[in-house]
Structure 1
Amino acid sequence: MTENSGPEYDVVIIGAGVTGIYQLYRALDAGFSARLLEAGDGVGGTWFWNRYPEARFDSESYTYGYLFSKELWEEWEWSERFAGQPEIERYFNYVVDRFDLRKHIEFATTVTAAEFDENRGTWEITDGQGGSRTAQFVVAATGILSVPFIPDIPGRDDFVGEQHHTGLWPHDPVEFAGKRVALIGTGSSGVQIVPAIADTVESLTVFQRTPDWCTPLNNAPITAEEQAELKANFESIREILNTSPSGFLHEMDYRQSGEDTKEQRLAFYEQLWDRPGFSKLTQNYIDITFNPEVNKEFCEFLEGKIRALIDDQSLADKLIPSDHLYAGRRPPFGTRYYEAYNKPNVHLVSLRETPITRLTRGGIETADGEREFDIIIWATGYDFGTGALNRLGVQGRNGLQLHDYWKDGPRTYLGVAAAGFPNFFFPGGPHGALGNNPRYAGDQVDFVMDVLEHVRGGASAVVEVDPAAEEEWTATIDGSGDLSSFLESSYFYGSNIPGKPVKQLLNPTGRPNLQTLIREAIDGGYATFIVSDVSEAVTDA
C-alpha cells in the first residue's frame, strides 16, 4: 500500500462458518468491498472440520440455517430434523454458490497476524502462506468451537497407531472395521461416535472423565407434510426465531414446578423424554435451572431411564452423573448411546478411578495397566470462546495484543468488540450466546453492519468501543453466573484448558437483554462507540 492509497478492502472477514458466511453476505449486500479468509479448503466452519461418524446438529436443522432469504428457505429442504454433517456441509456450499459468494473467499489461508495501523486507521492482515492484505475493518468470525484441545499426556508422539481429534477429522474415511479403538471423552462428540462405530470395531474402549446427563436426540425424517408447513409459515417462523430467547422454535413452558403434583410432573417428564433435542431444557419447567429440588427430581427420573437402558447396573453407576444436576454441564443428546454399552465389545474406563498415565507405542497406559489400540479418538473438546481469537495475532492501539488484553479473561462490549481495538469486531465470539448460536451470532452480525453503515463514507473513519461501555458489559457478564445453570467446571468457563482463567464465556443475561442493548445503542446514536477520523482518533487504549 502506498502512502496515499486506501485499503484493498472495506472489510476483511476471518472464518467461513455460519457467522462468517452471513457477515460476508451482509457486507456485500450493503455495498462494501469484502474478502473472507478461511483456513480450510471449504466452507462450513465447525461443519467442515467435524466430519466424524454421526456428527450432526442437535439444534433443529431449519432453526440453524439462514433466515435472510425467503427464496433460500423455500429452495432448500432439510431431510432430517437434525441433519448430519454431509448434509450440513452441502447446505453451506449451496448458500455460498446461490448468492455468488465463493469468488470473495480465499481458502487454505490461515491468518497469523492482524495489526492496526494508527497512522492510516487500517488493518494489515497477514497469513501463514506469505500473503498480506489491508482493510478498513476486520471482522473475526472465528467461532467458539474452532480450536481443538488435546490434553498434554506424556507419550502422545510415541503411539504408532492412528490418532484423530473429532474437531480435525480427516476427509478420507477412517477404517474402523476390525480395529481396537480408544475414545477419550464423552461430551457431545463422544456420545455421537460411540453407537456409530460400536458394531464395526473389534473393540471400543471409552475413557470417561465426567459422565453427563445424556438424553435422546429423537431424530426423525422431515415428512412432506412438515416440509410444506415449514415453507408456508416462513414469515411467522422467522419472527419467532428472530425473537426467541433460546433461538429455537420451542414454545417455552412458563409453569413453575410447584403448580403440578408430583404425579403430574413425572408424566410431564415422560413427555419431555420423547421430545426432540434441547426442548428437554427449553420446554421444561421454568424453574428447572434454579430450583435444585425440581432439578434433582428430574435427574432421578433421568437416572431411572438410563438404568433401564443398561444391563450392568455397576456400569450404570459410572455412567450416571453424581457431581452435577441437569444442565450443570452442556447436555449431550444421543441415539442409542447407553444401549451401546450392552455390547460385549464396548468397555468403559473411568478416568477418575484409573487415570491415564501415558501413551505408549502400542496404546494407553492407565493406573491399572496398559491397553493396546489401533486408533485413538480424542473427543476432548475445544479452547472455547476465546481460543481462536487469542491465536490470530491481533494487535490494536499502541501495540496492544489481544491475548495480553484478555490474559485474565475476555473483556467485550456486547460480545462484538473490545476497547483498544478500533475497527475490529468478533460476532459469534465470547459474551454473546446462551442458546442456538447462529441466532445470537446473527443478531451480532446485524449490529456490526449497523455500526459499519453508521460510519460509511469516511475512508479514514475509526470506530471503537468506549472503554466505559466495555467495562459495564464485562462486569455484567462476570457477575451473571447465578443466571445460568452451568457450573464453573464447564468448558463454558474455560476450565477445561490448563492455565486458562476461569471466566464466564457465555451471555447468561440472555438474548432479549442483548437485543435491548443493541437497540438502545442504535437509538442513542452509537454513543457507546467513539467515532473519529484517523487524524484525530483516540490514542489511549
Structure 2
Amino acid sequence: MSEPTDSLPSFDAIIIGAGIAGMYQLYRLRELGLSVQVFEAGSDVGGTWYWNRYPGARFDSESYTYGYSFSQELLQEWNWSEHFAAQPETLRYLNHVADRFELRPHIRFDSRVTAARYDEASRRWEVMIDSGERFRARFLVTAIGPLSADTLPRVPGIRDFRGESFHTSRWPREPVEFAGKRVAVIGTGATGVQVIQTIAPLVGQLTVFQRTPNWCTPLHNRKITEEEQARIKANYPAMFELLRRTPGCYIHDTDPRSTFDVTPEEREAFWEKLYGEPGFGIWMANFRDVLTDPKANALFSDFVARKIRQRVKDPVTAEKLIPKNHGFGTRRVPQETFYYEAFNLPHVRLVDLQEEPIERVTESGIRTSAADYPFDMIIYATGFDAITGSFDRIDIRGVGGLSLKEKWAEGPKTYLGLMSAGFPNMLTIVGPHNASTRCNIPRCIEQNVEWITDLLRNARDRGITRFEATPEAEAEWSRHIEELASGMLYTQVDSWATGVNRNVEGKDVRRILQYQGGAPQYRAKCEEVASSGYAGMVLA
C-alpha cells in the first residue's frame, strides 16, 4: 500500500460486510450524516442468509424475534410466514430492508476486503479489496460475521472428485437435483442436521459421515396463522422488552429452580414439556444448573439420550448418534425436524468416523480406513473457522504494522469485544468477547451498532480523530471474560465456541471467545463505559 493516501477515494467510515450487522450500521451512520462505504464479498445483501442457501436452511430463533426492531413501520408491514422462517424468506426480508431504507447505493458488491492498514500520520485506515483498489476512511467497522469463514476437512483429494461437491455455505444459486443420486454428507452440526433431514427423502442413497454426534432437539415449526400474526404485531413492544431482559435475548428465560429442587417425577414432566415445545426453550429455559452442574447436566443428557433411542429403530445406529464426549447444551444445540427418523430410512447409512476415519476423497467418492464409498455428490457440512476466522482472512495491521492475526494467535485480546489495543478507530460489531456470539444475534447486533454509533457521534461532535482501547483496559476485560466463563461446562468441551476447529491449523487449543455474562450485563457494562466518558479508552 505505497500509493499516497491523499489520492485515494476517502470516506468517514468503511464497513466490511453487508449482512444484518453491516446494513444496520450503515443505516445508523448515514443518519449521522457520515460518508460511508460498505464492501461486500457477495453479489447482494444478506450475509449469512445470502451465502447459506443449502437445502433446509432456516432460523432456530423465532422469526419475529430475529428481525430488526429499530423501525415500527418495518415491524408492522412485514409478515413472517412461519415461526422459524426458511432461508429464502429471510433473504427476501433483508432485501426488503435494503430497498426500503435505500441502502444499496452505499454498498459495493463483489468486493472482498483483503487488507486494512492504519496510517498513524493521517489517522486513517487504508483498505484494499480483491480488485487491488484502495480506499481510506477515518473509521473502520467490521461486520464480517462469526460464522462466515468456511472450512473443508483436512483430507487429501478433495479436488480430485469428479462428481458434484458443495460446501453448504457456498451452495449454488441454480437448483440442485437429488433424485436417484448417491449422496454423501460430511458433518452433523446444525447445518448438517438441516441438510440431512431435508434431502434424505429425495436422494437415491444417503451416507452420513459423522465425527462428533450432537444433542439435537425438535424445532416444532409451523405456519403463523392470521390471528397469531395480529397478536405478534400488537405484542412487539412487550416482546422486545422481554428480549432485553433474557440472557441470550430469546423469548425463553432460564428456570430459576435447580434440577434438584423438584422430585424426579416433576423433573421428568418438566423436561417432557420442554421437549414438546418449539425452539430453544429446551436449552435456554431449562433448570438454572443444567449448564453448570455436571450431575444436573448428566441427568438431562440421559433424558435426551432416551429420546434418541426411542426415535431411531436400529439400536446400534442410535448409540452412534448419542454424544459420549460432551453433555447437552455444552455445544450448540441443533434444532431438528425428523432428523433422527431419517436414519430409519432403508437408503440412509451412518458412518462413524471414530471407527473408520476418512483417508482421502477419490475421483469417484470417499475412501475410509474400512471401505471405498462411491458417490455422485459430496456435501461438506464442515462448518466454519468461527468468530476469529473471518478476521484472520484479512491482513489487518494497526499501529506500527502490528498484525491482528498475530496479536490474537494465542487467543483474542479485546476491550468490550468491540475494539483491540493497537488498532485505533477500528470497531468490531460481531467478534470475540462481546455478547453477540452467544445471543439471538440481531438483538446483540443492534445493541453493538447503537453503542458504536454513539461513540462516533461523540467523536464527530468533539472533533475526536483517534480513539483506542488502553492495554490495561483490554487486560482487565480479558480477566472479566475468563471469570464469567469459569463455571460453565462448555469450557471443558471442544467446539467452535471454544475456538477449536481441527480443520484449521493451529486451532486445536480451547480459548474463551464468548461473553458469558448474558446480554443485559454486557449492555450495562457498555453503558457504564460510555457514561463515564469512555473509560478505558484514549480519545485524541
Partner residue of 2:525? 517
Choose which of 311, 334, 337 in structure 2 pairs with 1:335: 337
Offset of residue 176 of structure 1: 1.1
1:378 aligns with 2:380: yes
Aligned to 2:538: 530
Residue 222 of structure 1 is matched in structure 2 by: 224
Q: Which residue of 2 aligns with 1:38?
A: 40
Q: Which 10-residue stretch deviates more, 354-363 or 256-265?
A: 256-265
The residue correspondences of 1:419-458 to structure 2 (distance < 5 A) are 419-433=421-435, 434-457=438-461
| Equivalent of 1:304 in 294, 306, 309 | 306
Equivalence for 2:495: 490
Does the 8 Å contact 1:121/1:460 carry over to 2?
Answer: no
Q: Deviations over 1:195-215 (max 9, x none)?
A: 211111110000001111111
Contact 2:425 2:468 in 1 (8 A): yes
Deviations 1:61-88 (A, max 9, x none): 1111100011100011111111000001
Matches within 5 A, 1:242-257: 242-257=244-259
Cα deviation for residue 513 of structure 1 reads: 2.3
Q: 1:3 to 1:304 in 2, by over 3 A?
A: closer
CA–CA distance in structure 2, aligned partners of residues 518 and 3 of structure 1: 34
Residues 391, 459 of structure 1: alpha-carbon distance in 2 compared, 3 angstrom cutoff: farther
Structure 2 partner of 1:538? none
The 1:5/1:371 distance shift into structure 2, 3 A limit, reads closer
Match of residue 105 from structure 2: 103
CA shift, 1:475, in A, is 2.3
Partners of 1:412 and 1:470 within 8 A in 2? yes
Q: Which amino acid aligns with 2:149?
A: V
Q: How does 1:370-409 map to 2 (within 5 A)?
A: 370-409=372-411
Q: Tell me the alpha carbon deviations over residues 491-527 of structure 1, each in whole angstroms, 9 at most, x when there is no partner.
A: 1112113312531111112222211211110111112
Mapped to 2, the partners of 1:531 and 1:460 lie a distance apart of 6
2:324 corresponds to which residue?
A: 322
**What residue in structure 2 maps to residue 499 of structure 1?**
506
Q: Which moved more, 1:85-94 or 1:237-246?
A: 237-246
Q: Summarize deviations over 1:107-127 as a string: whole Å, max 9, x none.
A: 000001111111110111110
The letter for the 1-side match of 2:523 is Q
Deviation at 1:2, TM superposition (A): 7.3
- 3-state SS of paired residue (1:145): coil
Superposed counterparts of 1:201-220, under 5 Å: 201-220=203-222
Q: Does 1:164 align with 2:169?
A: no
Distance change in 2, residues 1:68/1:426 (3 Å): same
After superposition, the Cα gap between the structure-2 partners of 1:2 and 1:343, relative to the gap in structure 1 and judged at 3 Å, is: closer
Aligned to 2:516: 508
Does the residue aligned with 2:449 lie in a helix, a strand or coil? helix
Q: Secondary structure at the residue paired with 1:32?
A: coil
- Amino acid in structure 1 at the alignment position of 2:265: E
**Residues of 1 paired with 2:5 and 2:75: CA distance?**
46
Select 2:469's aligned residue among 465, 468, 485.
Answer: 465
Partner of 2:364: 362
Mind listing any 5+ residue stretches in structure 1 that lack a counterpart?
A: 533-541
CA distance in 2, matches of 1:460, 1:81: 45
Retained in 1: the 8 A contact 2:469–2:538? yes
SS in 1 for 2:158: coil
Counterpart of 1:536 in structure 2 is none
Partners of 1:36 and 1:105 within 8 A in 2:
yes
Asked if the contact 1:6–1:459 (Cα under 8 Å) also holds between the matched residues in 2, the reply is: no
1:535 aligned residue: none
SS at 1:204 equivalent: strand
Distance 1:200 1:3, change over 3 A: closer
TM-superposed deviation, 1:241: 2.0
Alignment partner of 1:364: what SS? strand
Could you tell me which residue of structure 2 aligns to residue 270 of structure 1? Answer: 272
Question: Counterpart in 2 of 1:123?
Answer: 125
Query: 1:6 Cα shift?
Result: 9.8
Identify the residue that residue 348 of structure 2 maps to in structure 1.
346
One-letter amino acid of the counterpart of residue 465, structure 1 = A
How far residue 292 of structure 1 moved from its aligned partner, in angstroms, is 2.0
Alignment partners' CA distance in 2, 1:323 and 1:391: 31
Aligned counterparts of 1:458 and 1:3: Cα–Cα separation in 2:
25
Measured against aligned partners, the alpha-carbon deviations of 1:276-326 in whole angstroms (never above 9, x if no partner) come to 121101111111111222222212221221111111111101011122111
Instruction: For 1:221 and 1:63, locate their aligned partners in 2 and report how far apart those are by CA, in whole Å.
Output: 15
Equivalence for 2:10: 8
Q: Deviations over 1:315-356 (max 9, x none)?
A: 101011122111121111110000010101000000000000
How far apart, CA to CA, are the structure 2 residues paired with 1:215 and 1:244?
Answer: 21
Query: Following the alignment from structure 2 to structure 1, what is the Cα–Cα distance between the partners of residues 84 and 66?
Result: 10
Aligned pair count reads 532
> Cα offset for 1:234?
2.0
Secondary structure of the residue aligned to 1:170 is: coil
Q: Is the Cα–Cα contact under 8 Å of residues 244 and 519 in structure 2 kept in the other structure? A: no
The answer to whether the 8 Å contact 2:20/2:442 transfers is: yes
Instruction: Give the 3-state SS of the residue equivalent to 2:389 in structure 1.
Output: coil
In the TM superposition, what whole-angstrom CA distance separates every residue of 1:231-287 from its partner, at most 9, and x where no partner exists? Answer: 112222222223321111124321222221100110111100011121101111111
Alignment partner, residue 413 of structure 1: 415
What is the CA–CA distance in structure 2 between the aligned matches of 1:111 and 1:333, rounded to whole Å?
A: 33
Q: Distance in 2 between matches of 1:383 and 1:516?
A: 30
Deviates more, 1:276-285 or 1:434-443: 434-443
Identity of aligned residues (%): 47
